[in-house]
Amino acid sequence: MLVAFAAYEQPLKWLAVALGISSTICIVQGWHIQAMSLSLPFCLIWIYIGWLRSERQLQYINMIFVVFYLYGIARHLVLAL
């Protein structure tokens, strides 16, 4: 199934670059929730690329960051209520 999406690997990498740059700008500006919101799809893209290429270390590192970003976003939403 994942191999069927291999044709989208390069566009996904460019999207990840754009998300990474945007996330960095958000961090510099102090927009933390926006930075986490942009970093989450960045990590999901790299998890997919890792599965496509069987790069276990890349997969697991990004899975850890996904958990951190989900925690941070959830925490922000709870505190905003």
pLDDT digits (tens, 9 = 90+) for 27-43: 999 999 999 999 999 99
* Residue 22 resides in a domain: yes
Domain enclosing residue 33, as ranges: 9-80
* Residue 1 resides in a domain: no
* Residue 40 resides in a domain: yes
* Residue 43 resides in a domain: yes
Checking 57-61 for CB contacts under 8 A at 24+ apart, the result is none
Give pLDDT tens digits for 11-22: 998 999 999 999
Rg (CA), the chain: 14
Say how many domains are in the chain: 1
Cut 0.85: pTM above it: no
* Residue 46 resides in a domain: yes
* Residue 74 resides in a domain: yes
